[in-house]
Amino acid sequence: MEQIFPFIFRLRTLYVNAFLLAEDEGITLIDSGLANRKEMFLRALSEIKRSPEQLKHIVLTHHHTDHTGNLAALVEASGAEVWAHPLEAPIVRGEVPLPWSNPKSITLKMLWPLVGRLSVYNRLAPARVDHEVADGEELPVAGGMKAVHTPGHTAGHMCYLVERHGGVLFVGDAATNILGLRPPLRMSTLDMTQAKGCIRKLAELEFDVACFGHGGVLKGKANAAFRRFVEKLAQ
């Protein structure tokens, strides 16, 4: 577990990050990692001397199963309330089938016999979503967190901005930070043009730190790095 601020921790399940925000009034988790790792999350809570019951909120960036892997298990263990965009919520609840991550991707179709076995693409146990979140909504969790609708990677993808500490942006899969800032993987992105447009939207926000679903945390002047990235994308 990597400590980013005294109250923000990064939890890694192989190549996917989830983030724990530990406030006095309760714990918020952003995304829930690859499946079958409930114990790892509970251990992380006990490391910071909190009980499972103190996990009050689980906030989802999107429905992809590498981000919702332990959702049902953690909700059961903690009773936490779950937040997601209205276009993601029915998928998480299992009310609609898991959509193709990118129906146009020939690579995905060709590799399907192989990648279809990966846990990322597996259907999970349905989980509860208690709150459907609108663009711009201020969530009453972790001392206040603003939702930013960033469609493209998925239709209801959300980023979340904590305005304290100079601004901490939870990017989800709107961009990745593996060997530098990059757009999300094409194979698992519904609409790349829209996704790139959202990176421009994010670059206009004020934040000093950026926390990604995939890749390292950007600390210090993170929005300046986003602005340079947008210029590069335009070339």
Residue with smaller CB distance to Zn ion, 22 or 37: 37
Should residue 64 be labelled a site residue for Zn ion when binding is judged by CB under 5 A? yes
- Residue 63 beta carbon to Zn ion: minimum distance, rounded to whole angstroms: 8
Residue with smaller CB distance to Zn ion, 88 or 173: 173
Edge-to-edge strand ranges of the sheet holding 218-219: 138-139, 145-149, 158-162, 168-172, 209-212, 218-219
The pattern of x and - marking residues 194 through 233 that bind Zn ion according to CB under 5 A reads -------------------x--------------------
How far, in Å, are 122, 123, 143, 172, 207 from residue 27 at the CA level?
A: 28, 27, 10, 19, 22
- Residue 114 beta carbon to Zn ion: minimum distance, rounded to whole angstroms: 18
Q: Is 122 helix (H, G, I), strand (E, B) or coil?
A: coil
d(CA 211, CA 216): 7
| Strand-pair partners of 209 | 168, 219
Query: What residue type is assigned to position 228 of the chain?
Result: R
d(CA 231, CA 229): 5
- Residue 42 beta carbon to Zn ion: minimum distance, rounded to whole angstroms: 22
Should residue 88 be labelled a site residue for Zn ion when binding is judged by CB under 5 A? no
The pattern of x and - marking residues 164 through 193 that bind Zn ion according to CB under 5 A reads ---------x--------------------
- Residue 6 beta carbon to Zn ion: minimum distance, rounded to whole angstroms: 27
Looking at beta carbons, which residue is closest to Zn ion? 64
- Residue 129 beta carbon to Zn ion: minimum distance, rounded to whole angstroms: 17
Query: What residue type is assigned to position 66 of the chain?
Result: D
Residue with smaller CB distance to Zn ion, 151 or 213: 213
d(CA 163, CA 144): 8
Of 171, 218, 177, residue with least CA distance to 30: 171
Of 153, 119, 143, residue with least CA distance to 57: 143
Residue with smaller CB distance to Zn ion, 66 or 88: 66
Contacts with Zn ion: how many residues (CB under 5 A)?
A: 4
Should residue 63 be labelled a site residue for Zn ion when binding is judged by CB under 5 A? no
Tokens 């992809």: give the residue.
64
How far, in Å, are 25, 45, 92 from residue 30 at the CA level?
A: 16, 14, 15
- Residue 110 beta carbon to Zn ion: minimum distance, rounded to whole angstroms: 20
- Residue 152 beta carbon to Zn ion: minimum distance, rounded to whole angstroms: 11
Should residue 66 be labelled a site residue for Zn ion when binding is judged by CB under 5 A? yes
Interface residues toward Zn ion, by CB under 5 A = 64, 66, 173, 213
